[in-house]
Amino acid sequence: MVRASQLIPTGQSKPLSIAGYQWSACMNKLLIFTNTRKVWRHHTRGDYWVLDRESGDLCQLGPNKAEPAHLMFAKFSPDARYAAYVYKRNIYVQNLATLKVRKITRTASDSIINGTSDWVYEEELRLR
């Protein structure tokens, strides 16, 4: 389905190490979760990359100058034109054609966490 050579980022010599992945509904894009970090009990923070199988492009998601391993819960839009994710307690949407990033929430603080839960077993809310 995907060759390892397609998963080598520009400037690197080895393919991404995959911790998780998700196909778009039309199977033409692959969302790759890598470089993970544990948050509470699960590895939910990391880097996300998108492979466009039609063009062969491999691009990393995130706002400009995003810290490594800080994105959470990335998902494709139903038409796979966008990806949404959580970064530093705010929700973002990224256009996968232009890579333009739009910040959806701007209220993150020590007491406001957008896009994820705090101090709850996710299984109890069927979030995992």
**Residues 78-99 pLDDT 10s:** 999 999 999 998 999 999 999 9
Cα separation, 104 vs 1, whole angstroms: 34
pLDDT tens readout for residues 52-74: 999 999 999 999 888 888 999 99
Cα–Cα distance for residue pair 22/32, rounded to 1 Å? 7
pLDDT of residue 60: 97
Q: What is the pLDDT of residue 125?
A: 64
Domain boundaries, the chain: 4-125
**Across-strand partners of 87?**
71, 90
Question: Mean of the per-residue pLDDT values for the chain?
Answer: 88
CA 71 to each of CA 53, 56, 75, 124: distance values in angstroms, whole numbers, following the listed order: 23, 23, 11, 23
pLDDT digits (tens, 9 = 90+) for 15-62: 999 999 999 999 999 999 999 877 767 767 899 999 999 999 999 999
Q: Name the phi and psi angles at 124, rounded to 5.
A: -65, -25
CA angle, corner 29, sides to 25 and 20, nearest 5?
90
